Each structure stands twice: as C-alpha cells, then as structure tokens.
Amino acid sequence: MTVARWLKAAGRAVPGWLVVLATLGGASARAAEDGAPPPLTPDSYWIYVGTYTTGKTPSEGIYRFEFDTRSGKLTPRGVAAKLTNPTFLARHPARSFLYAVNEVEAVDGVKGGAVTAMAVDAETGDVKILNQQSTKGPGPCHLKVDAKALNVLAANYGGGSVVCLPIAIDGMLKPASSFIQHQGKGSDPARQRQPHAHSINLDFSNKHALAADLGLDKIFVYKFDADKGALTPNDPPFATVAPGAGPRHLAWHPSGRFAYVINEMGNTVTAFAYDAEAGRLDTIQTISTLPEGFQGKSWTSEIVVHPNGDFVYGSNRGDDSIAIFEIHPTTGKLTAAGRQPTGGKTPRNFVIDRSGRWLLAANQDSDNILVFSVDRDSGALTQVGEPVWAPMPVCIRMIPIVVPPR
C-alpha cells in the first residue's frame, strides 16, 4: 500500500508534496509496459500495435500511434512495419529495438513461426526491419527480452514449446540457442489434448523463466543463463492451477514477491507467492474475473500489475471488460475492486504507462483502442476521448519519444 493510500484509509489529508512523491515513486517502480526502465514519465510515447493480418479486417502489420501523456490523446501515425501476423510485441529494455512474433507457417523453408527484429528511431518513430528467425515451433504467441538484453524468449502456442533466440549487438536475432518441447495433456478434451505454451516471462533476478502452458494447467519454471542463452528445468519444475483453468499470462508484483497468473478457460486469476532463490511458486488464492451471476461465454486474456503495486487488472473477452483487483500489501491476496467495460469487443492486450496514470486497451474484434485514466488511489478506470481505429489489434507497446536538443 502506498503512503498516500495509507493516509487516506486512516482518514488523514494527503499533502500535495506527498502526491508528487507518490507519483515519482510509482514511476520508479518496475514499469508495467513490458519491463521498460523507470525514469520520469515522458511527455509522449510512440505506440506500436501488433495485429492479425489474416483476420476479417484488412491489416498491413504493425501500426504506429503517438500518445500524449499530458492529455491522454492517441493519434494514428500510419503503418510502422509491413509484416505477416505480427501479433505480440516486446521492446528492448535499454535501446530502441522492437521484436514481434509472427504467426506464419514457415521461415526460410523451416516449418514453424518466427520472431522479427526491428530498429526504432525514437525521434521519428520510423521502424526498420533487421531480420527474422524461426521459433522452431508453430503458433508463436508471446515473447520477452531478458533484463540483460542478450536474448528474446518466445512461447509457441501451437507447438507447446519455448525457445531462446540470442540478440546480436546490432539488435539482430541469431538462431535458437535453446528449445524445450512440453509434453502431456490436460483435463479438457476440446482444448487440452496437447501442450499449448501461452507465455514466457523472466523473474527480476533474470535467473528463472516461467512459461504458462494452457494445455497442461502448469506454469513451468526454467533456470535461465542469459550469457549462454540456455534454458534448463528448475527444481521444482512447475506449479499448477486448477484442472481445466488454462493458464495464459503472468504478471509480477513490483516487489518480486508475488506473481499473478490469469487463467483463460477458468476466467480466474491465481495469486502465487514467489521464492526467487528457489524459483518456486506457492498458491495463495484463485479469484474470478467475472461479475457475480455472469451467464455468457467469456475467456480471459491479459493481466497487468499497476506500477505502484496496489492493483491487478485482467481483461475478459466475452464480458468485454477489465476486472480490477486490490492487492493486500503483505499477503499479496486479491480483493475484487470493480470492473470497467473496454468500449469494444474482445479486449486482448492492454498496457499501463510508467506513471500509472494511463491504461490503453486493444479491442481485437471491434478494431479499436481506448484510453483510460487510472485513479491511482482506487484503481478505477475512466474512458478518455473516443475510440481510435486500429485493425485487429492484439498487442500494444510503448517507446518514449526522444526530442532532439535545440
């Protein structure tokens, strides 16, 4: 709990100077938009949006927008890179490189999906495609750059596998240095007849990689050697969620003590306590993302922890909302704190900027992105402006705009 929230809960006035410090403190926490470094909030970002190019709405690849953090205005700036199905994106933690999974059938005659490396001009926002490497498995859907920026790790949903691709000094990708195939099946005969690795994340030590497998109801834990680009099974090798829950994505608390996994099929979030030394996840609780009495069909998608560590957000596809949870500061346990309609259909990925003031949500099946202001004390979301068109948006990533000296 932030000091400002503690004072308010105690019925005391929050002085203005403390509000400023709390804002800077939230910005200095681990940022929510894909592990970016946490300096003061820039005045504007380049926003890059990964899309499906083979969906019902014509799309050309990755789209670029300009986002003003003072007003919350999102302005389209055209196509950034023409690629096939560049659905999920990851940014380099220190330099202006961007990486995208490509849900394609083969790369250079090799069956399986791909990851594309791109250089970004942080002043103009222009994107240059550098190269592409195979993920060695079909259906890549998620990727991360490790904290040393030496590797891209990707999860192959279709193949139920994970892969590590080393990064060259110029940002280009090298062939895979490590590949692990998951084995087994889950309890749901329709969706869990085989492994489906749906995401891969790294802990704050950069020594463990955690891969959520929807098909097996497991979060695999791997020892990770960034210098060698090597993944090896940890002991313990995995944690589990309820049978048929279908773990999808994982988000870390800024303290590194808690991890939150959103379960696509179960429409739940499972909170875990995390032992970083052992690489062990211990279940705290599981809580629904849907409103009480909900009767329709829905599947969760993304999960994000607010930079101040006070809230967790999770998106519902079907209910078309973002569920809001308050985090207990010592136990990590979640309490439902409301939900916000996303103003569109089938919300996929969403991001929160470094300051914790803004949330941007991508609605895949209504072809739009909405901006919400975030109440950093209550966690509540309020729509700002009108929906902005984007064709079949899947993933949003933010790179601060660099203003040249005058």
Q: What is the mean pLDDT of residues 260-271?
A: 98
Q: Please report the pLDDT score of residue 365 as a whole number.
A: 97
Hey, how many other C-beta atoms are within 10 angstroms of the C-beta on 70? 9
Q: What is the mean pLDDT of residues 394-404?
A: 92
- Beta strands across the sheet bearing 230-240: 197-202, 208-213, 218-225, 230-240
Q: Please report the pLDDT score of residue 109 as a whole number.
A: 87
Q: Please report the pLDDT score of residue 110 as a whole number.
A: 86
Q: Please report the pLDDT score of residue 404 as a whole number.
A: 74
- Beta strands across the sheet bearing 334-341: 299-305, 311-317, 321-327, 334-341
Q: Please report the pLDDT score of residue 15 as a whole number.
A: 43
User: Does 10 or 223 have the greater pLDDT score?
Assistant: 223
Name the residue with tokens 């829905």.
298
* Residue 366 token pair: 């209504």
pTM of the model: 0.92
Q: What is the mean pLDDT of residues 315-327?
A: 98
Element (H, E) at 18: helix 16-28
Q: Please report the pLDDT score of residue 41 as a whole number.
A: 77
Distance set, CA 281 to CA 155, 241, 329 (Å): 20, 11, 18
Q: Please report the pLDDT score of residue 33 as a whole number.
A: 53
Q: What is the mean pLDDT of residues 154-177?
A: 98
Q: Please report the pLDDT score of residue 34 as a whole number.
A: 54
Name the residue with tokens 């808690």.
258
Hey, how many other C-beta atoms are within 10 angstroms of the C-beta on 191? 15
User: Does 2 or 176 have the greater pLDDT score?
Assistant: 176
Q: Please report the pLDDT score of residue 55 as a whole number.
A: 86
Does residue 19 register a pLDDT over 50? no
Reported as a single tens digit per residue, the pLDDT across 113-144 is 999 999 999 999 999 999 999 999 999 999 99
Q: Please report the pLDDT score of residue 40 as a whole number.
A: 67
Q: What is the mean pLDDT of residues 148-177?
A: 98
Residue 381: helix, strand or coil by DSSP? strand
* Residue 330 token pair: 């010592």
Q: What is the mean pLDDT of residues 387-401?
A: 97
Q: Please report the pLDDT score of residue 10 as a whole number.
A: 43
Residue 367 near residue 357, CB atoms below 8 Å:
no
Lowest mean pLDDT among 15-19, 246-250, 299-303, 370-374: 15-19
Residue 364: helix, strand or coil by DSSP? helix
Lowest mean pLDDT among 12-21, 246-255, 317-326, 386-395: 12-21
CA–CA separation, 310 and 318 (whole Å) = 26
CA–CA separation, 198 and 137 (whole Å) = 13
The mean pLDDT of the chain is 92
